[in-house]
Amino acid sequence: MSARLVVLASGAGTLLQALLDAQRDPGFPGAVVGVFSDRADAQALVRAGRHGVAGEVVRMADFADRGAWDRALADKVAAHRPDLVVLAGFMKILGPEFLHRFPGRIINTHPGLLPAYPGAHAVRDALEAGASITGASVIWVDEGVDTGAVLARTEVPVLDGDDESSLHERIKIVEREMLVRVVSELVRPQRTSSSGIRT
Ligand code: GAR
């Protein structure tokens, strides 16, 4: 049976698209069952709709405070009974009330080689620092900003003449492949031998 994936995305949703494309392969062990965005204009919601996946906007501005938004979003995500929650270009920080509902089940993908360049402007920060190598990371989400344990990282060279947009587009190419691989590895059913050892 496919693992149930819930994806949170704020923008173009090309990382979400990579997961939606991957699940066309019957060997892929997961399926996106719900998509949430904090932005009504997120293209990610359109992509979800095209694939027949439920998509919903949960805007922070519609709630009294961050905690109320966290709780409402957590309730909606929980209704999909996710095995894994994937932050794929989700540009809001999730608070403890959300995180504690899905312990050990939330991952994030980030356009920087963490722990270098955390935060919302990783690509710009790498360029401004004069980095010759940057990349992408997939991490477990904890209460810090991009401080969770690293699951995978891929390097991307910074080329002469790169600007934020060209570099980010090249990073996203490796990021999509890496996210699909990490999700697949995390949710793939493990066989347990009679000795109790995972094979
Ligand atoms: C990705 O590069 C993702 O790592 C980044 O937003 C992009 C989303 O691309 N996320 C962050 O910066 C979170 N701090 P997409 O909308 O095309 O999937």
Query: Strand pairing of 54-57 and 30-37?
Result: parallel
Calpha distance 150→135 (Å, rounded): 13
Task: Report the atom number in ligand 1 closest to the C-alpha of 90.
Answer: 13
**Catalytic positions, written as ranges:** 110
25-67: pLDDT as tens digits: 999 999 999 999 999 999 999 999 999 999 999 999 999 999 9
Mutation probe of ligand 1 site: the residue of 113, 175, 179, 183 with most atoms within 8 A of C-beta: 175
Ligand 1: which residue has its CA nearest to atom 5?
Answer: 89
56-82: pLDDT as tens digits: 999 999 999 999 999 999 999 999 999
Distance (angstroms) between ligand 1 centre and the Cα of 89 equals: 3
Distance (angstroms) between ligand 1 centre and the Cα of 64 equals: 27
Distance (angstroms) between ligand 1 centre and the Cα of 110 equals: 6
Question: Does any ligand 1 atom lie closer than 6 A to the CB of residue 12?
Answer: yes
| Dihedral Cα 135, 93, 148, 84, nearest 10 deg | -90
Whole-prediction pTM:
0.95
Angle of CA points 7, 94, 167, to nearest 5°: 65
Place of tokens 């994030």: 108
pLDDT at 191: 63
Query: Predicted confidence band at 92 (pLDDT cuts at 50, 70, 90)?
Result: very high
Ligand 1: which residue has its CA nearest to atom 10?
Answer: 89
pLDDT at 199: 39
Could you tell me the strand order of the sheet in which 3-8 lies?
54-57, 30-37, 3-8, 84-88, 106-110, 133-140, 150-157
Calpha distance 158→88 (Å, rounded): 22
Task: Report the atom number in ligand 1 closest to the C-alpha of 109.
Answer: 4
84 DSSP assignment: E
128-179: pLDDT as tens digits: 999 999 999 999 999 999 999 999 999 999 999 999 999 999 999 999 999 9
Task: Report the atom number in ligand 1 closest to the C-alpha of 119.
Answer: 14
Calpha distance 47→191 (Å, rounded): 34
